[in-house]
Amino acid sequence: MFENKFSVFHDPLNLTSFNVQVPKPDEKVDLDVALKEFRLDMLNIQYVYLDDPKLSLEANWKILLNCRAWTLFWSERHPSRAVREREKLSLAECNASIERVSAKVRAVLLRRLREPPT
């Protein structure tokens, strides 16, 4: 499950890598392993932004999708009801962020399609 990773800077110590695939809430997964992977992803993503806040669009998008996937997972699978409720609120925020970014990308692409080639 946790074998497909994206490395932002291709560092040999994997300090900037995180999971591209996060389990769906209904998948059979060991919660202890999922928690370990989640913590590692969040630690590495934090390191990425501390090291170089000017990331590619691809890296930022993959980070946003990773965070959304983990939020969705924990909103249904966390053992604590309070945490599940908090994650549901975070999920709504993630979805709104994804929609804002998507709308900006669509606007840029439409503008480029309408501009004459130079």
Q: pLDDT per residue over 31-65, tens digit each?
A: 999 999 999 999 999 999 887 668 888 889 999 99
Q: Write out the residue range of the structural domain in which residue 52 sits.
A: 5-114
| Residue 28 backbone phi and psi in degrees, to 5 | -80, 115
Assessment of whether the complete model's pTM goes beyond 0.85: yes
Report CA 56 to chain centroid distance, whole Å.
14
Number of domains observed in the structure of the chain = 1
Q: How many CB atoms within 10 Å of residue 69?
A: 20
Average pLDDT over residues 91-114: 92
User: pLDDT > 70: what percent of the chain?
Assistant: 97
Q: What is the pLDDT of residue 71?
A: 98
Q: Identify the band that residue 73 occupies on the pLDDT scale cut at 50, 70 and 90.
A: very high
